[in-house]
Amino acid sequence: MSVSPRPGPPPPRPGPPPQSWSGDGADDGGHPAVDAAVQAMANAANLAPADQIAQYEAAYQTLRETLATIDQA
């Protein structure tokens, strides 16, 4: 009996290029930590899925900590 190999992941779908995030807060009333987290998520779009998870988790943690400090103020 022969076993056929499992298929690999589908090829990436074409889509719009990642948008650049200025991060300067000039036109969006941003917060430096939030701007950095959003930029990290935008940059993660170019990484392999396994690497994206770590980036998203780090951004999530940054956002949670930032919101916690805002709530305490």
pLDDT digit string (tens) for 39-68?
888 988 888 988 899 999 999 999 999 988
Each residue of 2-17: pLDDT tens digit?
666 676 666 666 665 5
- In this prediction, residue 30 carries a pLDDT of 76
- In this prediction, residue 70 carries a pLDDT of 78
Q: How many CB atoms lie within 10 A of CB 59?
A: 20
Rounded to whole angstroms, the Cα distance separating 73 from 65 reads: 13
Taking alpha carbons only, the member of 24, 29, 28, 23 closest to residue 43 is: 23
- In this prediction, residue 67 carries a pLDDT of 87
- In this prediction, residue 8 carries a pLDDT of 67
Q: Return the structure tokens found at 11.
A: 């090829």
Rounded to whole angstroms, the Cα distance separating 2 from 5 reads: 10
